[in-house]
Structure 1
Amino acid sequence: MIFFLEEVAQARRGPLHVCTAFNAVYYGFDLDAGAYSTDILDPEAFTLLGSDVQIPLPPVGSFVRIERGAHSLWGEVCASFGASPDVEEDGWTPRGLSGAPLSDGAEVALARAVVDWEALGPLTSVEHKELARIRRSPTGAVDRWGHLMGTGDTSALLSGRDHSGLYQQFLMGPGRRLLAEGDLGPLLQDSSDTVAAERALQRCFGTLEELLRQAPGLAVWDLYAQPVARHQQFASGPVAAEMVDRFTRPASGGAPRYTAVWPVLVGWEHEAGDEHALELTAAASAMVDANLALACQVTAGSLRRGVDLRIDDSWQQGGVWRAQSLPVDAVLRNCDPLIPAGLGHLEHIPPDAGDPKNDSKPRQADSVVHVEHLDEALLVVSVALSEADLSAGRLPLPDAVPSLLGQGPLILEVHHSGQLLDRDLARQHAQHETGGLSSVKWPESFYPGIKLTVAAARSGQQLMVTTTLLPDPIRVKDAVLHWYFDPVLLAEAWGPLDIPSLIGLELPTQQPIGGGHRPPVSALEVLITAALLRDGRIGTARSRSLDGQQLSAAMFGPDVVTPPLLWTVIHTCEDMAAVGLLTRTTVAHAGVLPDVFTWWPDTDEAREAQQAIVRIVDRVTRQLRHWRRPWERRLPDGHNATPAARARYAQWRMEVAGPEADTELPEGHTFVRGHRRGEGQAPAWHQHLRR
């Protein structure tokens, strides 16, 4: 499969997005022809584009068509990104735009969609002329580069930046007719199988993301893959060198400067006098190549001296990069520069003047604070509390962190591992203060240097705070310490400690196993465990279980759980399940099949129950992998099912849905029983699984 994806990327005229990779696999991209076959794809099911601006633009992966009299143009959306008019021609970007929500108030963000008009075969001379006429028309569906201009999708709960999710949503909705042409078609015949189709679609996209990243012949940026050889041609050229020079220049005084990719590419097109440099799919390739070139400079450590460069918004104008003079503040010091943090938008919002602050108080600098993770959805901070902050009821945070949180009073959910806290300690209100939060009531069992993990959703008002138990308690002087701590801070408060082995005591960390567009965050592991212990449903052997949606809401509050945040939590839980920290099962409930994650206590009873569940899940998974579900197969025109097939269908419907089920087989279809692959029609699949 990796080899096939590499070959598809080579054959295409633009970068391969995970959505177009799905199309290539699902609909069968012909490598010899360099195009899809219309034998499978029905152009009548393509999204019809009118002369007006599409609201919203179709997501990446969508097949589109334009009808002009007797002529039709067919294409596939291969890339899409923001097209805000607020960005200057030289790429300078107002910091409030970088990482801003897709819909901010009454205005909806503009977007650009790049279409591959030769995805279904080379254009004829007549089609070339029609496309040229449309590009010249001031009221046409496409602009002079052959791109669609419109607004981003703000429907449903999905972010308009998440084209993988938008395309999956499209395929299960308006694009259902196209999806029905492939292997998932049988699942769409019965409404009871819709959830199974959605889950299968999610798994397909997740697997393709991983395969693209593993392919040695592909360079991957965001959800786009470009052949390495093709990218190296760009990276070794003068345009890449000029972009690196421009993007690594901070603003005056070393302040952050935000620069967008697309306007700089347009300026280069004008300077070079090459009117074809950014037309059609070349625009998508240039956008991906430019970002990859900048990312390589960051990872190789070859930036100009004293400059910090990082991506701040991977969607707006093809990517907005942030350059500032070193040193960076504590918020950025430990953050991955290739994870878009959206600092520009939230840092430009002035603090609420009504927030209680006491600037006369000196800031306590002896607590040890590190930003473990920061992106546009999530903030994770580790804190070792000094004696002064512990006594004063403060939660110290880096200067910029409060501006990334919601305004007004904040809710602190405090979890003290292994200890049940009173309600007023477990859930309490805190206030913004210079250097952190104030009015915090710490449990009496806290001691100087105790280590906390703090997480919050960006712009959220609920923070989750937890301690972590040591593998074994440690006696220090006359006290027994149960939780991880900073020995230096403890020694400053209690005097010299004659325990050299404590120096460098660190929380256990797990290297992420998964990858993908929303990679797992190992710093969330202790918080996920704490949320399961506090809010999880009690099960066998006093286990605790929640699905991904419930877990995310318990950690951050239900009002701020966005798709990126939800998938970060789910992927972290999947990593924890892979190393045995949790178990992962699929449980049908109210018509949906969410992944449920379960924490188990360290008891013999729990270990036996956990092993039994793992064996059941493995057995069912193996059975399902080799069995094909029953389905209704469309027959050629003029043919109908035999009486025997109709009888089998009626029997199956009553077995699955009960005696009141509709047992009439649709006209023009026959019924294929579920069977083990390669063995023909065997006993019904659900009967086999009941044994």
Structure 2
Amino acid sequence: MIRPGAGEPADEARLRRYLLALVERRATPVHVAVAFNAVYFGFDTDAAGYAGGPLDIGDFPSVALGDEMAALPVGAMINVRTGGDLLPAEIVYKEGAHEALGVEGDIPGWLSGAPAGAQGPDQFDGTKDTSLRERLVFDADAFGPGLAASGARLNRLIRRGTIDAHGSLVVNSLYERSGDGPPESDLDDTSYYLRYLMTRGREQLDSSLAPMPLPLMLPPGATSQDREAGLRNLVNVVRRALASLPGIRLWGEYAFTRAAMADRLADGGPLGRDALETLARSVARSAAPIVSRGTAVRRRPVYTALGPALCSLPEAARLMRGTGYPSAVLHANVVLMDHVRREADEKTGLLPTGVRVALDDRWQGGGVWRAEHVGDGPASDVLRGASEEPNGRGWAECRERQAPRAPVVEPEPGDSDPGMPWPDEPDLGGPVLVHEGPGRLEWQQPLRARQLEGGYLPMPPAVTTGQGTAQRPGRAPRDGSGLLPSPGPSPDVVFRLEHDGQPSSVQRVRMDEEGWLVGLHWPSTCFPGILLDLAWQRGSRTVEARTTALIRPRTVDGESIEYRYDQRVRTRDGARQRPPDDTPLGRTRWLVMTAVRRFGLLDVVGRAMLARELLAPALLLVMTDAPEDPTAELVDAAVVELLAAGALTCLPGSQGDDGRPHHPTRIGERFVELLCYTPQVVEDRPRGHGDTGDGASQVRAKAVHHVPGSLRYIGHLGYEASPEQRRLFRQDFLKFGLVGSPELPPGYTYVRPHQRGC
């Protein structure tokens, strides 16, 4: 399997030389997705194009100004409909082009950092597909002499309305919301390009004309999960190489040379140093108090979108065309960021005028900057201004004004972990009532890791007492109507489990004083987070449980998941495997990932978000069995590598007086940077695909095939096989008479032989 860091030093050096030549040769900043295209499809840096390359331009989707279409990512190959011949091109940049953007860069506060689909501070539905107005900047020269080679042709297409005044395509892009993962509109440009290549762009990815198509890099019989993991690793190799280039500066996922930046700053023209510095000072002055009759009136925060603001500068519009548009926008963002870092106080983040300037939205209008006069406000009211991660304060503040503040839940004594300012979610893994009738109680409950290891399962109070869910939780009274009997030895309880499509297994277990079934033996294929559907007939001493197979099996962070599960529990309890890399840096990466997953704030899809400043106390809680404490330098290096590899991302958040972080940010709270773990989910094809059976049992009976045991690499995710998988590998090693070592190699887990629906 292809993975970051697996190449020879000579190959990595050759890749960096090629990427450096690519960034120097392209007429526009190079996005990670565009860099991947160049490596994968063989962009000729001497000829400056794919001319004569492996791409079939007849298969590219066609796009025209004003189209309503399925969203396209940066890196997508397209045909621009010009009214005559199709013009092949590569999308090299895109940004939000909302109708509310003003011609001079003014933008309503609610739009800055707003989620996809928001139509106002009180108009947002996150359950529907989303249509976004976007500006697509394309490079027609990527396939030979195009628009940039002929200014007359560019002007002609603009006059005819084939492209807009900036030589771009402004379209309405439809993003779908489906499945359990994050919606398409919430993905960053690189992640969305990966999804595109695995779906609509798959034929292009698998083209046999490519220098080295992905199928040839994978072992025989590779699954769709293997394909996605291999593709993701290839992109991460390119991303890391791009970030390591000397003489290169990054803004987000875009790379450009410092020489190009120096040339702009040496230019005395409409978009040179003086113009950009003037724009930076103008953004800061926009929030300065208005002085009238000796009284200073404080303004509301002011938001400025740099794309329209640059176009409004004198004589600049003619330069903001084609690939010159993203170059100017990205350079302006860097100039403004450097201005803030140079002029602002290191402790408060304020400019000498008492104004705080910070990036608030990276995508809309080329980048939205927020300016607010803070003056002598308290330090807790000061947000970090010099961070390249957007704060998203505009949307958060407008939402705060629309809805009352949620009540703060006080932690119960003893619930919080030592050194952490908030307790774990008290309802995490608890039973959820499905049905309660006079004769039967049904509920749903995920397995926690400690329950798997300890062989027990807590029962709801209604089961232990037999008196219904309305009774106050606590030690159950022994009235004999539930499973907890009157004083005396507890008789056996029959636990009937239906799992893995097999006949029910029956165990006789005991119930202890706290209402837990103890002495359970869980099947080896159960895992932390697997969902149990449970039922109890009142008056009986039998508890029935079953698991449910997923219609679409999936791979989560390299681990095969075939049963319904609780995403939040899996995030919390799945971070228990040992690190595959036993070097100091490898152990530290594992410790950081474990700390974020165990102590980060959980959301409904299983993301865990930990304030970066709380990483140190969180690490102390997961280092109990570590051979030695990592240094601060090792922790910083591990965070940088995890961010570069995409295993962690950064999100803006805020922190209340109780120390609990919040995302999105809340008005009046101190800004914090959140390290975010997001489960990487890859879905397989549905069970019984292509079969005509009516039920799950028919699919299992009629459409199954044998899958031999195999090793799966998970080291690139910072994981190691569990002790149970190591034991199973040793067992099957002896059973099948395999040759070699009975120990799993570092970084690999074991997938046992099994039957799978075709």
Same fold (TM over 0.5): yes
Conserved? CA contact 2:61–2:78, under 8 Å: yes
Q: In the TM superposition, what is the alpha-carbon distance from 1:619 to its structure 2 partner?
A: 8.5
Whether 2:208 is the aligned partner of 1:99: answer no
What is the aligned counterpart of 2:338 among 288, 293, 296? 296
How many pairs were matched up?
Answer: 462
Conserved? CA contact 1:188–1:194, under 8 Å: no
SS in 2 for 1:515: helix
Structure 1 residues 457-472: aligned runs within 5 Å: none
Aligned to 1:143: 164
The 3 A distance-change label for structure 1 pair 194 and 567 is: farther
Whether 2:254 is the aligned partner of 1:224: answer yes
Spell out, residue by residue over 1:309-341, the C-alpha distance to the aligned partner (whole angstroms, 9 max, x if none).
221111111111122234576476568722112
Aligned to 2:746: 617
Aligned to 1:284: 326
SS in 1 for 2:304: strand
The 3 A distance-change label for structure 1 pair 60 and 468 is: closer
What is the aligned counterpart of 1:78 among 85, 92, 99? 92
Q: In the TM superposition, what is the alpha-carbon distance from 1:300 to its structure 2 partner?
A: 3.7
Q: In the TM superposition, what is the alpha-carbon distance from 1:284 to its structure 2 partner?
A: 0.8
Whether 2:54 is the aligned partner of 1:33: answer no
Give the Cα separation in 2 of the matches to 1:566 and 1:613.
38
Aligned to 2:515: none
Q: In the TM superposition, what is the alpha-carbon distance from 1:11 to its structure 2 partner?
A: 0.7
Whether 2:213 is the aligned partner of 1:184: answer yes
Whether 2:642 is the aligned partner of 1:514: answer yes
Whether 2:101 is the aligned partner of 1:87: answer yes
Conserved? CA contact 2:711–2:749, under 8 Å: no
Spell out, residue by residue over 1:468-506, the C-alpha distance to the aligned partner (whole angstroms, 9 max, x if none).
696899xxxxxxxx9xxxxxxxxxxxxxxxxxxxxxxx9
Conserved? CA contact 1:83–1:111, under 8 Å: yes
Conserved? CA contact 2:89–2:139, under 8 Å: yes
Give the Cα separation in 1 of the matches to 2:385 and 2:710.
40
Whether 2:284 is the aligned partner of 1:248: answer yes
Q: In the TM superposition, what is the alpha-carbon distance from 1:121 to its structure 2 partner?
A: 1.6
Q: In the TM superposition, what is the alpha-carbon distance from 1:248 to its structure 2 partner?
A: 2.1
Aligned to 1:348: 398
Whether 2:280 is the aligned partner of 1:171: answer no
Comparing 56-65 and 152-161, the one that deviates more:
152-161
Aligned to 1:201: 231
What is the aligned counterpart of 2:677 among 568, 575, 589? 568
What is the aligned counterpart of 1:264 among 306, 309, 319? 309
Structure 1 residues 230-629: aligned runs within 5 Å: 230-235=260-265, 237-249=273-285, 250=287, 252=289, 253=298, 255-268=300-313, 271=314, 273-302=315-344, 304-305=351-352, 306-326=354-374, 327=377, 330=380, 333=383, 337-350=387-400, 384=421, 455-456=600-601, 512=639, 513-516=641-644, 518=646, 520=648, 568-569=677-678, 597=719, 616-617=745-746
Conserved? CA contact 1:56–1:153, under 8 Å: yes
SS in 2 for 1:296: helix
The 3 A distance-change label for structure 1 pair 267 and 130 is: closer
Q: In the TM superposition, what is the alpha-carbon distance from 1:137 to its structure 2 partner?
A: 2.1
The 3 A distance-change label for structure 1 pair 61 and 322 is: same
The letter of the residue matching 1:204 is L
Conserved? CA contact 1:311–1:338, under 8 Å: yes
Aligned to 1:644: none
Q: In the TM superposition, what is the alpha-carbon distance from 1:4 to its structure 2 partner?
A: 1.4
Give the Cα separation in 1 of the matches to 2:149 and 2:619.
72
SS in 2 for 1:220: strand
Give the Cα separation in 2 of the matches to 1:265 and 1:590.
56
Q: In the TM superposition, what is the alpha-carbon distance from 1:287 to its structure 2 partner?
A: 1.1
SS in 1 for 2:281: helix
* Structure 1: stretches of 5+ with no match in the other structure: 364-381, 394-413, 425-440, 442-450, 474-481, 483-505, 525-563, 572-586, 622-655, 662-691
Q: In the TM superposition, what is the alpha-carbon distance from 1:124 to its structure 2 partner?
A: 8.3
Give the Cα separation in 2 of the matches to 1:63 and 1:468.
45
Conserved? CA contact 2:24–2:257, under 8 Å: yes
Q: Which has the higher contact order (CA 8 A, sep 6+)?
A: 2
The letter of the residue matching 1:296 is D
SS in 1 for 2:235: helix
Conserved? CA contact 2:606–2:678, under 8 Å: no
Give the Cα separation in 2 of the matches to 1:568 and 1:40.
37
Conserved? CA contact 1:310–1:323, under 8 Å: yes
Q: In the TM superposition, what is the alpha-carbon distance from 1:235 to its structure 2 partner?
A: 4.0
Aligned to 2:560: none
SS in 1 for 2:78: strand
With normalisation by structure 1, the TM-score equals 0.55
Q: In the TM superposition, what is the alpha-carbon distance from 1:68 to its structure 2 partner?
A: 5.1
The 3 A distance-change label for structure 1 pair 184 and 194 is: farther
Q: In the TM superposition, what is the alpha-carbon distance from 1:109 to its structure 2 partner?
A: 2.6
SS in 2 for 1:111: strand
SS in 2 for 1:32: coil
State percent identity of aligned pairs.
24
SS in 2 for 1:514: helix
The 3 A distance-change label for structure 1 pair 470 and 288 is: closer
Give the Cα separation in 2 of the matches to 1:177 and 1:57.
18
The letter of the residue matching 1:202 is R
Conserved? CA contact 1:54–1:149, under 8 Å: no
The 3 A distance-change label for structure 1 pair 81 and 126 is: closer
Conserved? CA contact 2:19–2:35, under 8 Å: yes
Aligned to 1:501: none
Conserved? CA contact 1:103–1:154, under 8 Å: no
Give the Cα separation in 2 of the matches to 1:125 and 1:332.
45
With normalisation by structure 2, the TM-score equals 0.51
SS in 1 for 2:110: helix
SS in 2 for 1:41: coil
The 3 A distance-change label for structure 1 pair 415 and 261 is: farther
RMSD: 5.5
* Structure 2: stretches of 5+ with no match in the other structure: 1-14, 119-124, 178-182, 267-272, 290-297, 345-349, 411-418, 427-447, 461-473, 475-594, 625-631, 653-672, 681-706, 732-740
Q: In the TM superposition, what is the alpha-carbon distance from 1:176 to its structure 2 partner?
A: 2.1
Give the Cα separation in 2 of the matches to 1:39 and 1:113.
23
Aligned to 2:32: 18
Comparing 233-242 and 452-461, the one that deviates more:
452-461
